[in-house]
Chains A and B, each alone.
Chain A
Amino acid sequence: MDYLSSNKILIVNLESGEITEDELDDELVSNRIGGVGVTSFLYDTYKDKDPIVLGTGLLTGTLFPGSALGIISAKSPKTGEIAHSPFTLKAGMELKFTGFDYVVVLGQAGKPVFLWLHDGVADIQDASEIWGSDVWKTTDHIRRGMGDDLIQTLAIGPAAESGSELAQICINYWGSGDCWGFGKLFGEKNLKAIALRGMGLLEISEPEDFVDQCFEIFENINKGSFQGKAGIQDIFSAMGENDASEWLLPSVHRNSACYNTPYPTNTFLYLDEDPKTVAEPAAPEPGFLVTDPCALLELKRCGLSAKEAGSVMRACARYGINPTAVAEFCARSGEKSMENIEKSLKDLKGTISIPDCGRFSCWAPGKPLFSNFDVSDTSEYGVWWKRRQAVAYIFGVHPIFANMAPELSEELMLQMVNKGTGLELDQEILDKVIEDVCN
Protein backbone atom coordinates (compact mmCIF):
# COMPACT_ATOMS: atom_id res chain seq x y z
CA MET A 1 0.00 0.00 0.00
CA ASP A 2 1.87 3.05 -1.26
CA TYR A 3 -0.41 5.89 -0.21
CA LEU A 4 -1.88 7.25 3.05
CA SER A 5 0.01 4.41 4.65
CA SER A 6 3.43 3.30 5.85
CA ASN A 7 2.79 -0.07 4.25
CA LYS A 8 3.69 -1.92 7.44
CA ILE A 9 1.99 -4.24 9.88
CA LEU A 10 4.14 -4.83 12.94
CA ILE A 11 3.92 -8.12 14.83
CA VAL A 12 5.43 -8.10 18.31
CA ASN A 13 5.69 -11.30 20.29
CA LEU A 14 6.30 -10.26 23.88
CA GLU A 15 7.00 -13.81 24.98
CA SER A 16 9.83 -14.55 22.55
CA GLY A 17 10.85 -10.95 22.00
CA GLU A 18 10.53 -11.54 18.27
CA ILE A 19 9.53 -8.53 16.17
CA THR A 20 8.51 -8.98 12.54
CA GLU A 21 6.92 -6.87 9.85
CA ASP A 22 4.37 -7.66 7.14
CA GLU A 23 3.41 -5.51 4.21
CA LEU A 24 -0.06 -3.99 4.19
CA ASP A 25 -1.12 -5.32 0.84
CA ASP A 26 -3.56 -3.58 -1.46
CA GLU A 27 -5.84 -6.60 -1.52
CA LEU A 28 -6.38 -6.47 2.23
CA VAL A 29 -7.17 -2.76 2.00
CA SER A 30 -9.47 -3.35 -0.97
CA ASN A 31 -11.45 -5.88 1.06
CA ARG A 32 -11.31 -4.34 4.54
CA ILE A 33 -10.60 -0.64 3.84
CA GLY A 34 -8.78 0.11 7.07
CA GLY A 35 -9.07 1.01 10.75
CA VAL A 36 -11.35 -1.39 12.52
CA GLY A 37 -11.92 -3.28 9.23
CA VAL A 38 -8.27 -4.35 9.29
CA THR A 39 -7.77 -4.57 13.08
CA SER A 40 -10.66 -7.05 13.34
CA PHE A 41 -9.17 -9.07 10.45
CA LEU A 42 -5.78 -9.16 12.23
CA TYR A 43 -7.50 -10.07 15.50
CA ASP A 44 -9.11 -13.07 13.80
CA THR A 45 -5.82 -14.05 12.17
CA TYR A 46 -3.98 -14.19 15.52
CA LYS A 47 -6.98 -15.09 17.67
CA ASP A 48 -5.25 -18.05 19.38
CA LYS A 49 -2.41 -15.90 20.70
CA ASP A 50 -4.32 -13.31 22.78
CA PRO A 51 -3.77 -10.45 20.36
CA ILE A 52 -4.11 -6.79 21.13
CA VAL A 53 -4.27 -4.98 17.79
CA LEU A 54 -3.65 -1.27 17.32
CA GLY A 55 -4.39 0.54 14.10
CA THR A 56 -5.32 3.72 12.32
CA GLY A 57 -7.63 4.56 9.43
CA LEU A 58 -6.54 5.59 5.96
CA LEU A 59 -7.60 9.15 6.75
CA THR A 60 -5.84 9.29 10.14
CA GLY A 61 -3.03 11.85 10.17
CA THR A 62 -4.16 13.56 6.95
CA LEU A 63 -5.81 16.95 6.46
CA PHE A 64 -9.27 15.40 6.32
CA PRO A 65 -11.22 17.06 9.18
CA GLY A 66 -11.34 14.98 12.36
CA SER A 67 -8.57 12.62 11.24
CA ALA A 68 -7.38 11.92 14.79
CA LEU A 69 -8.37 8.34 15.43
CA GLY A 70 -6.40 5.31 16.50
CA ILE A 71 -8.12 2.08 17.52
CA ILE A 72 -7.38 -0.79 19.88
CA SER A 73 -9.13 -4.06 19.11
CA ALA A 74 -8.99 -7.01 21.49
CA LYS A 75 -11.12 -9.44 23.45
CA SER A 76 -12.83 -7.49 26.19
CA PRO A 77 -12.43 -8.98 29.66
CA LYS A 78 -15.94 -7.68 30.32
CA THR A 79 -17.75 -9.37 27.44
CA GLY A 80 -15.35 -12.12 26.36
CA GLU A 81 -15.76 -10.90 22.78
CA ILE A 82 -13.86 -8.66 20.40
CA ALA A 83 -14.45 -4.97 21.05
CA HIS A 84 -12.88 -1.73 19.83
CA SER A 85 -11.67 1.23 21.79
CA PRO A 86 -10.78 4.64 20.33
CA PHE A 87 -7.68 6.68 21.17
CA THR A 88 -7.48 10.28 20.08
CA LEU A 89 -5.73 13.46 21.34
CA LYS A 90 -2.47 13.34 19.35
CA ALA A 91 -1.88 9.61 19.91
CA GLY A 92 -3.78 8.28 16.87
CA MET A 93 -1.90 10.66 14.58
CA GLU A 94 1.39 9.82 16.27
CA LEU A 95 0.88 6.07 15.74
CA LYS A 96 0.29 6.71 12.03
CA PHE A 97 3.58 8.60 11.77
CA THR A 98 5.62 6.01 13.69
CA GLY A 99 5.85 4.11 10.42
CA PHE A 100 3.38 1.34 11.34
CA ASP A 101 -0.23 1.24 10.18
CA TYR A 102 -1.10 -1.70 12.41
CA VAL A 103 0.55 -3.27 15.44
CA VAL A 104 -0.27 -6.76 16.67
CA VAL A 105 0.91 -7.52 20.21
CA LEU A 106 1.04 -11.21 21.09
CA GLY A 107 1.97 -13.27 24.15
CA GLN A 108 3.06 -12.30 27.61
CA ALA A 109 6.38 -10.71 28.49
CA GLY A 110 8.45 -12.46 31.14
CA LYS A 111 9.00 -9.18 32.97
CA PRO A 112 7.47 -5.70 32.80
CA VAL A 113 8.15 -3.98 29.48
CA PHE A 114 7.01 -1.11 27.37
CA LEU A 115 6.87 -0.99 23.62
CA TRP A 116 8.64 1.94 22.00
CA LEU A 117 7.53 2.69 18.43
CA HIS A 118 9.32 5.47 16.63
CA ASP A 119 10.38 6.32 13.09
CA GLY A 120 9.84 2.85 11.69
CA VAL A 121 11.60 1.14 14.61
CA ALA A 122 10.04 -1.01 17.33
CA ASP A 123 11.83 -1.77 20.60
CA ILE A 124 10.74 -3.77 23.61
CA GLN A 125 12.13 -1.88 26.60
CA ASP A 126 12.45 -2.80 30.24
CA ALA A 127 9.72 -1.30 32.45
CA SER A 128 10.68 -2.85 35.79
CA GLU A 129 11.42 0.58 37.19
CA ILE A 130 7.95 1.90 36.44
CA TRP A 131 5.90 -1.21 37.19
CA GLY A 132 3.71 -0.15 40.12
CA SER A 133 3.83 3.51 39.13
CA ASP A 134 0.72 5.45 38.34
CA VAL A 135 -0.06 6.57 34.79
CA TRP A 136 1.27 10.11 35.27
CA LYS A 137 4.61 8.93 36.62
CA THR A 138 4.81 6.36 33.83
CA THR A 139 4.37 8.96 31.11
CA ASP A 140 6.79 11.34 32.83
CA HIS A 141 9.37 8.56 33.16
CA ILE A 142 9.14 7.53 29.51
CA ARG A 143 9.27 11.11 28.22
CA ARG A 144 12.18 12.01 30.47
CA GLY A 145 14.05 8.81 29.63
CA MET A 146 13.71 9.42 25.89
CA GLY A 147 14.26 13.16 26.22
CA ASP A 148 11.11 13.98 24.26
CA ASP A 149 8.05 15.61 25.82
CA LEU A 150 5.95 15.01 22.74
CA ILE A 151 5.96 11.22 23.02
CA GLN A 152 2.39 9.97 23.26
CA THR A 153 1.74 7.07 25.58
CA LEU A 154 -0.96 4.45 25.94
CA ALA A 155 -0.28 3.49 29.53
CA ILE A 156 -1.74 1.53 32.42
CA GLY A 157 -1.66 2.16 36.13
CA PRO A 158 -1.93 0.04 39.29
CA ALA A 159 -5.58 -0.89 38.53
CA ALA A 160 -4.52 -2.89 35.48
CA GLU A 161 -1.51 -4.40 37.22
CA SER A 162 -3.80 -5.75 39.94
CA GLY A 163 -5.96 -7.46 37.30
CA SER A 164 -9.02 -5.25 37.64
CA GLU A 165 -11.60 -5.46 34.87
CA LEU A 166 -12.33 -1.81 35.55
CA ALA A 167 -8.83 -0.86 34.39
CA GLN A 168 -8.46 1.56 31.54
CA ILE A 169 -5.64 2.26 29.10
CA CYS A 170 -4.94 6.00 29.46
CA ILE A 171 -3.50 8.43 26.93
CA ASN A 172 -0.52 10.36 28.37
CA TYR A 173 -2.13 11.60 31.61
CA TRP A 174 -5.77 11.50 30.62
CA GLY A 175 -8.68 9.10 30.32
CA SER A 176 -9.50 7.38 27.05
CA GLY A 177 -12.44 5.69 25.38
CA ASP A 178 -11.40 2.31 26.80
CA CYS A 179 -14.62 1.15 28.43
CA TRP A 180 -13.79 -2.49 27.69
CA GLY A 181 -11.23 -3.21 30.41
CA PHE A 182 -8.37 -3.38 27.87
CA GLY A 183 -6.10 -2.03 30.61
CA LYS A 184 -6.34 -5.47 32.24
CA LEU A 185 -5.05 -7.08 29.02
CA PHE A 186 -1.97 -4.84 29.07
CA GLY A 187 -1.43 -5.84 32.72
CA GLU A 188 -1.69 -9.56 31.92
CA LYS A 189 0.90 -9.13 29.19
CA ASN A 190 3.24 -7.26 31.57
CA LEU A 191 2.94 -4.41 29.10
CA LYS A 192 3.13 -1.14 31.01
CA ALA A 193 2.80 1.16 28.03
CA ILE A 194 3.11 1.69 24.32
CA ALA A 195 5.08 4.86 23.58
CA LEU A 196 4.61 6.53 20.21
CA ARG A 197 6.61 9.10 18.30
CA GLY A 198 7.13 9.39 14.61
CA MET A 199 8.40 11.69 11.96
CA GLY A 200 7.06 9.64 9.06
CA LEU A 201 5.62 10.88 5.80
CA LEU A 202 2.41 9.85 4.05
CA GLU A 203 2.39 10.04 0.27
CA ILE A 204 -0.88 10.93 -1.44
CA SER A 205 -1.98 9.46 -4.76
CA GLU A 206 -3.57 12.69 -6.04
CA PRO A 207 -2.15 15.26 -3.65
CA GLU A 208 -3.56 18.41 -5.18
CA ASP A 209 -7.06 17.02 -5.59
CA PHE A 210 -7.01 15.57 -2.11
CA VAL A 211 -5.91 18.80 -0.45
CA ASP A 212 -8.27 20.94 -2.59
CA GLN A 213 -11.13 18.87 -1.37
CA CYS A 214 -9.96 18.97 2.27
CA PHE A 215 -10.13 22.76 2.11
CA GLU A 216 -13.58 22.61 0.55
CA ILE A 217 -14.81 20.26 3.27
CA PHE A 218 -13.30 22.51 5.95
CA GLU A 219 -15.15 25.49 4.54
CA ASN A 220 -18.45 23.59 4.52
CA ILE A 221 -17.96 22.23 7.99
CA ASN A 222 -17.03 25.59 9.37
CA LYS A 223 -20.41 26.89 8.34
CA GLY A 224 -21.96 23.94 10.20
CA SER A 225 -24.08 23.74 13.28
CA PHE A 226 -21.27 23.47 15.86
CA GLN A 227 -19.81 26.84 14.88
CA GLY A 228 -19.29 29.08 17.89
CA LYS A 229 -19.53 26.11 20.24
CA ALA A 230 -16.62 24.57 22.11
CA GLY A 231 -15.67 22.08 24.74
CA ILE A 232 -17.49 19.59 26.87
CA GLN A 233 -19.81 22.27 28.25
CA ASP A 234 -21.37 22.75 24.80
CA ILE A 235 -21.43 18.99 24.18
CA PHE A 236 -23.51 18.78 27.37
CA SER A 237 -25.91 21.39 25.98
CA ALA A 238 -26.16 19.45 22.72
CA MET A 239 -27.01 16.36 24.78
CA GLY A 240 -29.84 18.34 26.40
CA GLU A 241 -27.91 18.68 29.68
CA ASN A 242 -27.95 22.45 30.02
CA ASP A 243 -27.57 22.44 33.78
CA ALA A 244 -24.41 20.31 33.43
CA SER A 245 -23.02 22.92 31.10
CA GLU A 246 -23.59 25.68 33.68
CA TRP A 247 -22.23 23.41 36.43
CA LEU A 248 -18.98 22.94 34.49
CA LEU A 249 -18.28 26.41 33.13
CA PRO A 250 -16.75 28.07 36.24
CA SER A 251 -13.96 25.45 36.36
CA VAL A 252 -13.07 25.59 32.66
CA HIS A 253 -9.57 26.79 31.80
CA ARG A 254 -9.32 26.12 28.05
CA ASN A 255 -10.80 23.82 25.45
CA SER A 256 -8.53 21.89 23.15
CA ALA A 257 -8.84 19.71 20.11
CA CYS A 258 -7.56 16.32 19.09
CA TYR A 259 -5.36 16.26 15.99
CA ASN A 260 -6.95 18.18 13.07
CA THR A 261 -10.38 18.14 14.67
CA PRO A 262 -12.22 21.44 14.14
CA TYR A 263 -14.31 21.11 17.30
CA PRO A 264 -12.37 21.07 20.60
CA THR A 265 -13.89 18.04 22.33
CA ASN A 266 -11.56 18.26 25.36
CA THR A 267 -11.89 20.64 28.28
CA PHE A 268 -9.18 21.39 30.80
CA LEU A 269 -10.43 22.08 34.32
CA TYR A 270 -8.21 24.05 36.67
CA LEU A 271 -8.68 22.46 40.06
CA ASP A 272 -5.81 24.04 42.02
CA GLU A 273 -5.44 27.32 40.10
CA ASP A 274 -7.75 30.12 39.11
CA PRO A 275 -9.36 28.93 35.81
CA LYS A 276 -8.98 32.47 34.48
CA THR A 277 -5.18 32.22 34.63
CA VAL A 278 -3.72 33.03 31.23
CA ALA A 279 0.03 32.92 31.91
CA GLU A 280 1.87 29.68 32.59
CA PRO A 281 0.80 28.55 36.07
CA ALA A 282 3.36 27.95 38.77
CA ALA A 283 1.76 24.69 39.91
CA PRO A 284 3.12 21.80 37.84
CA GLU A 285 -0.12 19.85 37.85
CA PRO A 286 -2.96 22.35 38.28
CA GLY A 287 -5.85 20.36 36.87
CA PHE A 288 -7.23 17.76 34.56
CA LEU A 289 -8.07 17.45 30.88
CA VAL A 290 -11.53 15.92 30.55
CA THR A 291 -11.81 13.86 27.37
CA ASP A 292 -14.84 11.81 28.39
CA PRO A 293 -18.08 13.82 28.61
CA CYS A 294 -20.25 10.84 29.58
CA ALA A 295 -18.06 9.92 32.57
CA LEU A 296 -18.09 13.51 33.80
CA LEU A 297 -21.87 13.60 33.51
CA GLU A 298 -22.21 10.41 35.54
CA LEU A 299 -20.06 11.87 38.31
CA LYS A 300 -22.25 14.98 38.32
CA ARG A 301 -25.27 12.74 38.74
CA CYS A 302 -23.59 11.30 41.84
CA GLY A 303 -23.88 14.75 43.41
CA LEU A 304 -20.30 16.00 43.02
CA SER A 305 -19.37 19.57 42.16
CA ALA A 306 -17.54 20.10 38.86
CA LYS A 307 -14.26 20.58 40.72
CA GLU A 308 -14.79 17.42 42.76
CA ALA A 309 -15.74 15.46 39.66
CA GLY A 310 -12.59 16.74 37.90
CA SER A 311 -10.51 15.70 40.89
CA VAL A 312 -12.04 12.20 40.91
CA MET A 313 -11.35 11.88 37.18
CA ARG A 314 -7.75 12.92 37.78
CA ALA A 315 -7.41 10.26 40.49
CA CYS A 316 -8.97 7.69 38.13
CA ALA A 317 -6.53 8.56 35.34
CA ARG A 318 -3.56 8.30 37.69
CA TYR A 319 -4.72 4.91 38.98
CA GLY A 320 -5.74 3.85 35.46
CA ILE A 321 -9.37 3.04 36.17
CA ASN A 322 -12.47 3.75 34.10
CA PRO A 323 -14.23 6.80 35.64
CA THR A 324 -17.64 5.71 34.33
CA ALA A 325 -17.26 2.49 36.31
CA VAL A 326 -16.31 4.49 39.40
CA ALA A 327 -19.40 6.68 38.95
CA GLU A 328 -21.58 3.58 38.71
CA PHE A 329 -20.19 2.26 42.01
CA CYS A 330 -20.78 5.66 43.62
CA ALA A 331 -24.35 5.77 42.34
CA ARG A 332 -24.94 2.31 43.83
CA SER A 333 -23.41 3.08 47.20
CA GLY A 334 -24.63 6.68 47.43
CA GLU A 335 -21.08 7.84 48.23
CA LYS A 336 -20.80 11.58 47.65
CA SER A 337 -17.52 12.43 49.32
CA MET A 338 -14.73 13.13 46.84
CA GLU A 339 -12.07 12.08 49.37
CA ASN A 340 -13.80 8.78 50.10
CA ILE A 341 -14.28 8.03 46.41
CA GLU A 342 -10.63 8.71 45.65
CA LYS A 343 -9.50 6.58 48.60
CA SER A 344 -11.74 3.69 47.54
CA LEU A 345 -10.40 3.32 43.99
CA LYS A 346 -8.01 0.50 44.82
CA ASP A 347 -10.73 -1.50 46.57
CA LEU A 348 -13.36 -1.31 43.84
CA LYS A 349 -14.28 -4.77 42.67
CA GLY A 350 -17.27 -6.32 40.97
CA THR A 351 -19.07 -6.01 37.72
CA ILE A 352 -20.61 -3.00 36.13
CA SER A 353 -23.27 -2.81 33.50
CA ILE A 354 -22.33 -3.22 29.85
CA PRO A 355 -23.84 -0.42 27.83
CA ASP A 356 -25.66 -1.20 24.63
CA CYS A 357 -23.02 0.07 22.25
CA GLY A 358 -22.24 -3.06 20.26
CA ARG A 359 -18.50 -3.49 19.78
CA PHE A 360 -17.73 0.23 19.93
CA SER A 361 -17.01 2.41 22.92
CA CYS A 362 -19.84 4.21 24.69
CA TRP A 363 -17.37 7.10 25.08
CA ALA A 364 -19.09 8.94 22.19
CA PRO A 365 -22.50 10.23 23.32
CA GLY A 366 -25.32 8.10 21.91
CA LYS A 367 -27.05 10.70 19.79
CA PRO A 368 -26.36 13.29 17.09
CA LEU A 369 -24.76 16.45 18.46
CA PHE A 370 -25.65 19.97 17.25
CA SER A 371 -27.35 18.53 14.19
CA ASN A 372 -30.01 15.87 13.73
CA PHE A 373 -28.45 13.94 10.80
CA ASP A 374 -32.04 13.58 9.57
CA VAL A 375 -32.67 11.12 12.41
CA SER A 376 -35.70 12.64 14.04
CA ASP A 377 -37.08 9.58 15.80
CA THR A 378 -35.12 8.93 19.00
CA SER A 379 -35.85 5.20 18.70
CA GLU A 380 -33.54 5.18 15.66
CA TYR A 381 -30.57 6.64 17.55
CA GLY A 382 -29.11 3.23 18.48
CA VAL A 383 -28.92 1.93 14.91
CA TRP A 384 -27.72 5.29 13.58
CA TRP A 385 -25.05 5.56 16.28
CA LYS A 386 -23.56 2.10 15.67
CA ARG A 387 -23.27 2.64 11.93
CA ARG A 388 -21.79 6.12 12.40
CA GLN A 389 -19.23 4.79 14.88
CA ALA A 390 -18.35 1.90 12.57
CA VAL A 391 -17.69 4.36 9.75
CA ALA A 392 -15.58 6.63 11.97
CA TYR A 393 -13.56 3.64 13.24
CA ILE A 394 -13.02 2.35 9.69
CA PHE A 395 -11.74 5.62 8.20
CA GLY A 396 -9.95 7.02 11.27
CA VAL A 397 -12.26 9.90 12.10
CA HIS A 398 -12.78 11.20 15.64
CA PRO A 399 -15.88 9.33 16.91
CA ILE A 400 -17.37 12.27 18.84
CA PHE A 401 -16.67 14.72 16.03
CA ALA A 402 -18.22 12.26 13.53
CA ASN A 403 -21.48 12.64 15.46
CA MET A 404 -21.52 16.41 14.99
CA ALA A 405 -20.51 16.70 11.33
CA PRO A 406 -23.14 15.33 8.91
CA GLU A 407 -21.08 16.92 6.13
CA LEU A 408 -18.67 13.99 6.54
CA SER A 409 -20.86 11.50 4.70
CA GLU A 410 -19.90 7.91 3.96
CA GLU A 411 -19.76 8.77 0.28
CA LEU A 412 -17.36 11.65 0.92
CA MET A 413 -15.04 9.52 3.07
CA LEU A 414 -14.93 6.85 0.35
CA GLN A 415 -14.24 9.48 -2.26
CA MET A 416 -11.38 10.94 -0.22
CA VAL A 417 -9.83 7.56 0.46
CA ASN A 418 -9.98 6.79 -3.27
CA LYS A 419 -8.34 10.12 -4.14
CA GLY A 420 -5.70 9.57 -1.48
CA THR A 421 -4.87 5.97 -2.31
CA GLY A 422 -5.73 5.52 -5.98
CA LEU A 423 -7.94 2.54 -5.05
CA GLU A 424 -11.52 2.19 -6.18
CA LEU A 425 -13.43 1.37 -3.05
CA ASP A 426 -17.20 1.57 -3.26
CA GLN A 427 -20.28 1.63 -1.06
CA GLU A 428 -20.80 -2.10 -1.47
CA ILE A 429 -17.41 -2.85 0.09
CA LEU A 430 -18.04 -0.33 2.85
CA ASP A 431 -21.44 -1.86 3.63
CA LYS A 432 -19.82 -5.29 3.88
CA VAL A 433 -17.09 -4.08 6.24
CA ILE A 434 -19.63 -2.21 8.39
CA GLU A 435 -21.78 -5.30 8.65
CA ASP A 436 -18.80 -7.42 9.57
CA VAL A 437 -17.42 -5.10 12.28
CA CYS A 438 -20.85 -4.53 13.81
CA ASN A 439 -21.67 -8.24 14.19
Chain B
Amino acid sequence: MRIDVDALKCIGCMACEMACGYHKDDAFALLSSCIVVYRAREKKDYFGVVIKEEESLIIARPEGLEIKRIGVAEEPDSSGQKREADASAKPMLLREPCDLCSGMKYGPMCVKICPVGAISIVEGGE
Protein backbone atom coordinates (compact mmCIF):
# COMPACT_ATOMS: atom_id res chain seq x y z
CA MET B 1 0.00 0.00 0.00
CA ARG B 2 1.17 3.46 -0.74
CA ILE B 3 -0.07 7.03 -1.07
CA ASP B 4 -1.19 8.24 -4.48
CA VAL B 5 -1.86 11.87 -5.40
CA ASP B 6 -3.78 13.31 -8.32
CA ALA B 7 -1.79 16.52 -8.68
CA LEU B 8 -4.27 17.99 -11.13
CA LYS B 9 -6.92 17.95 -8.43
CA CYS B 10 -4.52 19.40 -5.85
CA ILE B 11 -5.06 23.04 -4.88
CA GLY B 12 -1.71 23.38 -3.10
CA CYS B 13 -3.22 24.10 0.33
CA MET B 14 -0.50 22.27 2.32
CA ALA B 15 -3.05 20.73 4.72
CA CYS B 16 -1.54 17.29 4.00
CA GLU B 17 1.94 18.61 4.76
CA MET B 18 0.87 20.03 8.13
CA ALA B 19 -1.15 16.92 9.03
CA CYS B 20 1.90 14.79 8.33
CA GLY B 21 4.06 17.20 10.35
CA TYR B 22 1.67 16.77 13.27
CA HIS B 23 1.88 12.98 12.96
CA LYS B 24 5.67 13.17 13.14
CA ASP B 25 6.14 15.87 15.79
CA ASP B 26 2.93 15.95 17.89
CA ALA B 27 2.88 19.68 17.24
CA PHE B 28 2.28 21.95 14.26
CA ALA B 29 5.49 21.95 12.23
CA LEU B 30 6.53 21.25 8.66
CA LEU B 31 10.10 20.17 9.26
CA SER B 32 9.50 16.43 9.36
CA SER B 33 6.59 15.94 6.94
CA CYS B 34 7.18 13.22 4.40
CA ILE B 35 4.52 14.64 2.10
CA VAL B 36 5.41 18.04 0.71
CA VAL B 37 3.80 20.39 -1.77
CA TYR B 38 6.39 21.47 -4.30
CA ARG B 39 5.65 25.04 -5.07
CA ALA B 40 8.88 26.70 -6.08
CA ARG B 41 7.77 27.30 -9.68
CA GLU B 42 5.28 29.82 -8.46
CA LYS B 43 5.43 32.17 -11.44
CA LYS B 44 4.53 29.29 -13.75
CA ASP B 45 1.66 28.02 -11.60
CA TYR B 46 3.30 24.60 -11.74
CA PHE B 47 2.85 22.67 -8.52
CA GLY B 48 2.32 19.15 -7.22
CA VAL B 49 3.19 16.89 -4.33
CA VAL B 50 6.21 14.76 -3.34
CA ILE B 51 6.06 11.82 -0.94
CA LYS B 52 9.07 10.18 0.64
CA GLU B 53 8.85 6.42 0.94
CA GLU B 54 11.47 4.06 2.31
CA GLU B 55 13.22 3.54 -1.00
CA SER B 56 11.60 5.96 -3.39
CA LEU B 57 10.31 9.44 -3.93
CA ILE B 58 6.84 9.63 -5.40
CA ILE B 59 6.54 12.78 -7.43
CA ALA B 60 2.98 13.70 -8.35
CA ARG B 61 3.22 16.20 -11.18
CA PRO B 62 0.19 17.69 -12.93
CA GLU B 63 0.98 15.55 -15.96
CA GLY B 64 1.27 12.31 -14.00
CA LEU B 65 3.02 10.29 -11.35
CA GLU B 66 6.71 9.53 -11.32
CA ILE B 67 8.46 7.14 -8.95
CA LYS B 68 12.18 7.64 -8.40
CA ARG B 69 14.29 5.09 -6.59
CA ILE B 70 16.37 6.84 -3.97
CA GLY B 71 20.08 6.53 -4.64
CA VAL B 72 19.65 5.42 -8.27
CA ALA B 73 21.27 7.84 -10.73
CA GLU B 74 18.79 9.73 -12.87
CA GLU B 75 18.59 9.21 -16.58
CA PRO B 76 18.67 12.45 -18.57
CA ASP B 77 15.46 13.10 -20.53
CA SER B 78 15.30 13.51 -24.34
CA SER B 79 16.74 17.04 -24.11
CA GLY B 80 19.72 15.71 -22.17
CA GLN B 81 18.50 17.43 -18.98
CA LYS B 82 18.09 15.67 -15.68
CA ARG B 83 14.60 16.47 -14.40
CA GLU B 84 14.34 17.44 -10.80
CA ALA B 85 11.14 17.62 -8.82
CA ASP B 86 11.92 20.92 -7.27
CA ALA B 87 14.17 22.65 -4.79
CA SER B 88 11.53 21.98 -2.14
CA ALA B 89 11.81 18.22 -2.77
CA LYS B 90 15.53 17.98 -2.03
CA PRO B 91 15.46 18.10 1.78
CA MET B 92 12.96 15.23 1.60
CA LEU B 93 15.73 12.71 1.31
CA LEU B 94 16.75 13.36 4.90
CA ARG B 95 13.26 12.83 6.31
CA GLU B 96 11.67 9.74 7.78
CA PRO B 97 9.61 7.90 5.17
CA CYS B 98 5.83 7.60 5.07
CA ASP B 99 4.56 4.95 7.49
CA LEU B 100 0.92 5.38 6.43
CA CYS B 101 0.37 7.03 9.81
CA SER B 102 0.78 3.79 11.68
CA GLY B 103 -0.36 4.14 15.26
CA MET B 104 -2.66 7.07 14.48
CA LYS B 105 -6.35 6.51 15.12
CA TYR B 106 -7.26 8.61 12.09
CA GLY B 107 -5.62 6.36 9.50
CA PRO B 108 -3.51 8.17 6.91
CA MET B 109 -3.98 11.77 8.00
CA CYS B 110 -3.13 13.36 4.65
CA VAL B 111 -5.87 11.34 2.93
CA LYS B 112 -8.38 12.37 5.55
CA ILE B 113 -7.60 16.09 5.48
CA CYS B 114 -7.24 16.74 1.76
CA PRO B 115 -10.21 19.02 0.93
CA VAL B 116 -10.44 17.96 -2.71
CA GLY B 117 -9.89 14.21 -2.41
CA ALA B 118 -6.59 14.38 -4.30
CA ILE B 119 -4.87 11.80 -2.06
CA SER B 120 -5.73 8.13 -1.90
CA ILE B 121 -4.26 4.81 -0.83
CA VAL B 122 -3.40 2.36 -3.57
CA GLU B 123 -2.20 -1.21 -3.52
CA GLY B 124 1.44 -1.85 -4.34
CA GLY B 125 4.54 0.18 -3.58
CA GLU B 126 7.07 -0.78 -0.97
Contacts and interface: CB of A to CB of B under 8 A. Distances in A.
Interface string A244-262: 0000000001111111111
Contact of A279 (B29, B62, B113): B62
Contact of A280 (B11, B41, B88, B115): B41
Contacts of A62: 18, 28
B42 interface: yes
Interface string A52-78: 000000000111000000000000000
Contact of B13 (A173, A259, A284): A259
Contacts of B45: 253-254, 256, 268, 270, 286-287, 289
A264 interface: yes
Nearest to A149: B40
A284 B44 CA distance: 6
B23 to A, nearest CB: 9
Size category, B interface: 20 to 34
B100 interface: no
A200 B29 contact: yes
B115 A199 contact: no
B25 A173 contact: no
B18 A63 contact: yes
A4 B29 CA distance: 11
A436 B75 CA distance: 62
B26 interface: yes
Given A280-B41, A281-B46, A222 B87 contact: no
B65 interface: no
A150 B14 contact: no
A63 B42 contact: no
B13 A150 contact: no
B11 A260 contact: no
B40 A218 contact: no
For the residues of A in contact with B, the DSSP-based class is loop
B88 A149 contact: yes
B20 to A, nearest CB: 11
Interface stretch (A126-134, A180-188, A201-209): A201-209
A367 interface: no
A199 B42 contact: no
Contact of B29 (A150, A199, A263, A285): A199
Given A211-B22, A218-B115, A279-B63, A173 B28 contact: no
A253 to B, nearest CB: 5
Contacts of B42: 149, 172-173, 289
Nearest to B46: A280
B14 A203 contact: no
B45 to A, nearest CB: 4
Contact of B44 (A97, A214, A258, A281): A281
A90 interface: yes
Interface in B58-116: 61-63, 87-88, 106, 112-113, 115
B49 interface: no
B27 A259 contact: no
A196 to B, nearest CB: 13
Q: Which of B8, B22, B31, B40 has the most CB of A within 10 A?
A: B22
Given A63-B113, A256-B11, A260-B13, A204 B63 contact: no
Given A63-B15, A284-B43, 20 more contacts: A63-B19, A63-B113, A97-B30, A149-B42, A150-B40, A150-B87, A173-B42, A173-B43, A204-B27, A222-B115, A257-B11, A257-B13, A259-B13, A263-B115, A264-B11, A279-B63, A284-B44, A285-B43, A286-B45, A287-B45
Q: Which 3 A-B pairs have the closest CB atoms?
A: A149-B40, A262-B115, A257-B13
7 contacts: A63-B19, A199-B29, A201-B28, A201-B31, A255-B11, A256-B11, A256-B13
